[in-house]
Amino acid sequence: MNNPLVPVFALTVLLTTFLAPSFIVAAGPVPLASHRAVYDLTLKDTKRDGGIENVRGRIVMEVENGCEGYVLNQRMLIELSNIDGGVITSDYHLSTWEDKLGDVMRFSVSNILNGRPIQIFDGVATKDEEKGIVTFKDNGEDNLDLPKDVIFPTAHTKIILQSARDGKNLVSAKVYDGNGKEGLQDSLTVIGKKSAASQDMAIRDGMENISYWPVQLAYFDLRGPANEPDYEISLKMYENGVATDLVLKYRDFSLDGKLVQLDFLKKDACVKN
């Protein structure tokens, strides 16, 4: 299973018409906030025949909006118990830097399963008007060609936010997230109606008068025809990029992600978007 970026974090939706929401779009975009968010993960649902008894975990997400680019550091730790009494622990780390134009992404990824590294990727992804390419470092992987319309995770988040501000309800995009040759996926994002922050969020420092949109994302494997997504994510996406109320849906189970800690990092004076 691929691990989702939050956030870069939908339910599969069949839509035949799209109605523009009734809210008035803000005069200007809100910059992505540099912040550190911690989410506790608990089991929401599991399939009867999936063999899963319990799942719990935590996501720690750190986003830095710098002068030249965006830094994302994510750790996702999951402990999965099956009905036979076995326990599997997955410790997933992701670190990326993307330039402000969305043309370059440096990435480092590792996934450790029960203390044993099973995935390690380190490289650079670039793109221009003609094509994209991923160059891996020190692991024997061949270069990966990318379609010219591919985008990277932070750029994906920005496109979703801008689409929401423009009153659009649907975003379809090919996204490369750094997860080796399986990191290229198709995505469908459905954006709901703009809403005011909940009382719990509105009283937090840095979240005053920040609204959100309910967002649902689905990610599909591009290597072959797929009627169902590999995984799905729903969340509340705030204008400044902070996410709450996560639901991560995999094939055999789904998880609730509750925001338990939010700290804003010092903002560089040069940051405007």
**215 CA to centre of own chain:** 11
> What pLDDT score was predicted for residue 4?
39
Q: Where are the domains of the chain?
A: 35-264
User: Could you report the per-residue pLDDT of 16-40, keeping only the tens digit for each?
Assistant: 222 223 233 333 567 899 999 999 9
- 202 Ramachandran zone, left/alpha/beta (phi>0; psi -120 to 50): alpha
Q: Span 116-129, mean pLDDT?
A: 92
Across 253-272, average pLDDT: 88
Q: What's the whole-number mean pLDDT along residues 249-261?
A: 93
pLDDT on residue 273? 65
pTM for this predicted structure: 0.85
180-210: b (≥16 Cβ within 10 Å) or e: beebbbbbbbbbbebeebeeebeeeeebeeb
Contact call for residues 13 and 234 (beta carbons, < 8 A): no
User: d(Cα 111, Cα 91) in Å, to the nearest integer?
Assistant: 6
- What is the separation, in whole angstroms, between the first and last Cα of the chain? 33
Residues whose CB falls within 8 Å of the CB of residue 40, separated by 6 or more in sequence, listed in order? 57, 58, 257, 258, 260
